Structure 1
Amino acid sequence: MLVAGAGIAGLAAALDLAEAGLTVELLETAPQAGGRCRSFYDPVTGHRLDNGTHVLLGANPAALDFVRRVGGRFRELPAIYPAVALDGPGGEITGRHAIRLGSPVQLMRSLGLGAGDLLALAGLLLDGRVNGPLGTARPGLLSRKLGQAVLAPLVRAALNIDPAAADARLVARMLRRLALAGPRGFRLHLAEGGLDAALIAPAVARLRALGVRLYPTTPLDRLPPPDPDRMIVLALPPAAAHRLLPNITVPRASSAILNIHYAPDQLPAGMPEALMVTGGMADWIFHRDGILSITTSAADALMDRPAEVLAATGWAEIRTCLAMAGLPAAMPPVRVVKEKRATMRHDPGGEALRPGPVDRTRPRPDVVLAGDWTATGLPATIEGAVVSGQRAAAAVLRRR
């Protein structure tokens, strides 16, 4: 059994296949496993950093179960976390509130939402025929307080796209999953000690204990000839999968994410671990392991801006949003990480191009696809990657 690609999808596929008793070889182009979930040592900050702050939700059962199975460490954050509204990038505060992730009534009250907001949201959730961009399918929803305070930040974070351009059907499916998950579905889970220590290293160790052979720095340049005794899982980025299987459709467009990591000499006690920001450059401010990080989704317009300008704007927002922390005006050591092709673009055009794991029209029935860009019905997140890997493994096992 051959699995090409040791990102989250490939690791999830290899785990299911190995636990089913198959002999698995795992190939990876990079020197290490993890794909876009990776950690690296940064000499500027003197810390080991994640390329981005990858957050899990309580409504991500496949990803949380994968973490448990490999012995990983993601910690659930408290049910109350602060949110700040700014009047523009690097600007001033226009409002503060605490989001209470308890009952739906508590959540709505903490956000100042009313019955009209709930009815507008229910209309999106219950409409099985919703189609097209969200801004066209539900033109008034994003302008409501619900849209500004909850829906837009949630869509930006999960789908990595301007909410108005997001595929409305995918947004509705995501919201239904959150609703069915109950109050804990909105709870945030952060990697303890970074992505490598909390997820990738434990996954690799578990696979090796199961006898999986991992070959880093080993790209799959061409598909091997068909072998009736071997199946192949292609858990590669869409362009690489298309190069090996030119007849498949793959999403072409992508969306960027900006992450900026700051390393102050010391941080005051009592700082929030996660703070949601609206109206500024940052979408979230995270505090973990002595590092302050900002994450900005749907950041295509920021990719060409100089790193020093982005870092200065981000530090100004952190100091404004965490005013009580007494952070210095002088910017500490900083690392700007621009992920220009962080995810596929979740607009209707991109969604239409997502292939399933198996397609009977392909000339290679021994090949199964995996990756967060395949047709999982989920956004291109860790949850989507794990689900895709598990579905690919299930397709392989059905053929044995």
Structure 2
Amino acid sequence: MARILEHDALRLISDKGVAVTQWRVAASANEIAEAVASFGGRAVVKALIPSGGRGKAGLIRLVSNDAEIRAAADILGNRDLVFPVEQVLVSEALDIAQELFVSFCFDSKSRGAVLLYSAAGGVEIESIPEDQICRHPIDLRQGLDPADAAEIAGDPAIAEALVKLYELFAELEAETVEVNPLAVTTDGRVVAPTGVILTDDQAAFRHPELSEIADPLATNGYRPLTDIERAVAEINELPDHSEIRFNELDEGEIGFVFLGGGAGYYVFDRVLYFGGKPANTMDGTSSPHDEESMYRATSALLKKPGLKGLVAGSNYGNFRAIDARARGVVRALIDAKIDPATFPVVIRFDGEKLAEAKQAAEALPGIDYFDGTKSLEDAACRIVERVKAL
């Protein structure tokens, strides 16, 4: 998932036919002042980062005089929301009569799209009671019916904007298209002063037009990727390689290198249960290049400071021989000069070519190798025991 920066989101929304505010991007105090002047001396200055919560963090300012413009320039360089602010979005200040909340996203229960709509939008949307938010399911095969949009909105101009925003959501195969607030101005116009678009990494190959503005290697959706996360994410960019989901945790002692069917998340849970401290989460799909994927992921993870042990494995290998996976992990351990006597390693692979996988593990004496006679839970228990015994 990648969050498109606001100015690019506004451009995509505008291209779809929804009115947006006029805006300019600025990277210095002088550029901010010039942009504000171009909008008549009154404007909104926002941190241009892929993060929500900017308003509450003081990274959105309404400015109308020199002192406020100078103060707004202090947003540049701010890191309060983790992302460093290198640019700001300067947009015209609207005279708003009503703020609406509009969000199109996927609903796991109905396995379809859903429109979330409220006549009480704005920065406090999270505190709005659920009974004030309309939740309208959408059949992806049919799209948003204009008649339904008209009934929900109660206004033809707002309904038209809803239909166009849904079309954008569907055409981009996005995870989310949200406008909060969708503004109704005092002169009756319906305008999007902001926009959030979250892309779906798995649909990225069908949308090359987004490749320059949606960088999946820049963020995990709520903060910048760490160096280790970026190294693992680059595996996903290689042809025919595994699709790996990986997050580094701030603290932790036990690393996870897993493929297949939620095994990594299950072992993560069991490690917590037994009193261990996970250093990351990882799960992914198998591929013809399992050895290289496991090698790269393990090599990246071993660079994490404070790591004291590693557990690697998968569920039963139904579709791919498991020896390649074991070789990838062990090769990375050897290259990193890991000694399992002082850095415990538990590997649990079972499936086709089990004997060859065990042989690969024997190349580094001291590894605990578990086959199908031991469960994933056993592997979790063992790695916690060994790390605690250090």
TM-score, structure 1 length as denominator? 0.21
More contact order relative to length (CA 8 Å, sep ≥ 6): 1
Q: Which has the larger radius of gyration?
A: 2
TM-score, structure 2 length as denominator? 0.21
